[in-house]
Amino acid sequence: MHRFVTGATGYIGSAVLDAIIKGGHRVTAIARDPEKAEKLLAKGATPVIAELGLPKMYLPLLMSADAVVHTAFESSPRGVQVDRLALETMLTAQRDAMAADGKARAFIYTSGVWVLGRTTKAAEEDFPLDPPPHVAWRPEHEDLVLAAAASGLRPVVIRPGVVYGGGRGIVSDLIKDALNGIVRVVGPGKNHWPCVYDHDLGDLYVRILEAPLAVGIFHANDEEDERVSDIVEAIAGQVPQRPDIRYMPIAEARKKLGTYADALALDQKVRSPKARALGWSPSQTGVANSVARLVEEYRNAQREKNE
Ligand SMILES: NC(=O)c1ccc[n+]([C@@H]2O[C@H](COP(=O)([O-])OP(=O)(O)OC[C@H]3O[C@@H](n4cnc5c(N)ncnc54)[C@H](OP(=O)(O)O)[C@@H]3O)[C@@H](O)[C@H]2O)c1
């Protein structure tokens, strides 16, 4: 099976790439710079230098792929516009390819649980959306992907929780801050974050790729309903010297972080029944339960970066 992967040099994408390659699939993955392309090659993918905002660079690669896994996202003011262009390019190419050779194709889009907004009960995939401003654009992109079912494509939207593991992401930033002696939390920290371990998330992408009937929205979280203050306390207890923990009033956090502050302050409980129905069972159950391992993984990632 031939998979086309975007964002394979990123946090989620690299975990997904590792899992897809481990699953024995052939992968073409785009990268923006030659050094990162070399790393993709070393992992066993076929790298191609391409930029999401320039469709001509990757359009020809899409015809031969039986699945597209889109994990890339450009964090810049034009990020949403680039994502829209990339989605339209890839979905149209897949529709054309199916019309040409009649073979089934799948498209996996990486969204996130923040689109749900504050949850009033444990939210399954059919929970009504109420996205905070930071991701207000995202439901339209999910809809664009899901609408491709009408042309015979198998569209999937994965909504990961806050990803933990390795050396990147929000939880790793908390570990880094704790090691540096001061952790800032947005709001009083009583809110719950739905979280997912990066390797478990990679495993879910592969399960979905390999299940021909898996379609539509999939939540991806370990269902531990952890409070942010408990996550931070667990990390603080795992570093050599207890850090200062500062709970920032939301108004102050907004001044520093803009709309991102409200996303971090969301109180969410999420369930992932569709993933579990595929036999997915997260190996790590919560940040607090895995904190020793996570600090170790963070240190190893820093060591590798500095080598
Ligand atoms: N991390 C989380 O906890 C989390 C949770 C839920 C949802 N999500 C969503 O998942 C997606 C990926 O998140 P992430 O944390 O993996 O982000 P990330 O670590 O920043 O990775 C982004 C990836 O996209 C690539 N990219 C960015 N702009 C590009 C462009 N113009 N052309 C080609 N490639 C481009 C990056 O390449 P370079 O290596 O060249 O920069 C990188 O591979 C985002 O939509 C995010 O909102 C993330």
Neighbour-count burial of 117, counting CB atoms closer than 10 A to its CB (0-12 exposed, 13-18 middle, 19+ buried) = buried
Per-residue model confidence (pLDDT) at position 109: 98
- Cα distance between residue 218 and residue 213, in whole Å: 13
Q: Is residue 23 part of a domain?
A: yes
What is the Å distance from ligand 1's center to 14 Cα? 10
Per-residue model confidence (pLDDT) at position 307: 82
The structure's pTM equals 0.98
pLDDT by position in tens, the chain (length 307): 899 999 999 999 999 999 999 999 999 999 999 999 999 999 999 999 999 999 999 999 998 999 999 999 999 999 999 999 999 999 999 999 999 999 999 999 999 999 999 998 999 999 999 999 999 999 999 999 999 999 999 999 999 999 999 999 999 999 999 999 999 999 999 999 999 999 999 999 999 999 999 999 999 999 999 999 999 999 999 999 999 999 999 999 999 999 999 999 999 999 999 999 999 999 999 999 999 999 999 999 999 888 8
Q: Is residue 233 part of a domain?
A: no
C-alpha distance across the termini of the chain, in Å: 34
Per-residue model confidence (pLDDT) at position 305: 86
Atom 20 in ligand 1: which residue has the minimum CA distance? 10
The C-alpha torsion from 216 through 157 and 160 to 118, rounded to 10°, is -80
What is the Å distance from ligand 1's center to 12 Cα? 7
Number of domain units in the chain: 1
Q: Is residue 262 part of a domain?
A: no
Q: Is residue 13 part of a domain?
A: yes
Cβ–Cβ < 8 Å for 30, 48: yes
Q: Which residues form the pocket of ligand 1, taking CB atoms under 6 Å from any ligand atom?
A: 7, 9-13, 30, 32, 36, 51-53, 71-75, 82, 110, 112, 160, 162-163, 168-170
What is the Å distance from ligand 1's center to 110 Cα? 9
Q: Is residue 55 part of a domain?
A: yes
For position 137, which CATH number holds? 3.40.50.720
Task: Supply the range of the domain harboring residue 32.
Answer: 2-165+193-223+269-283
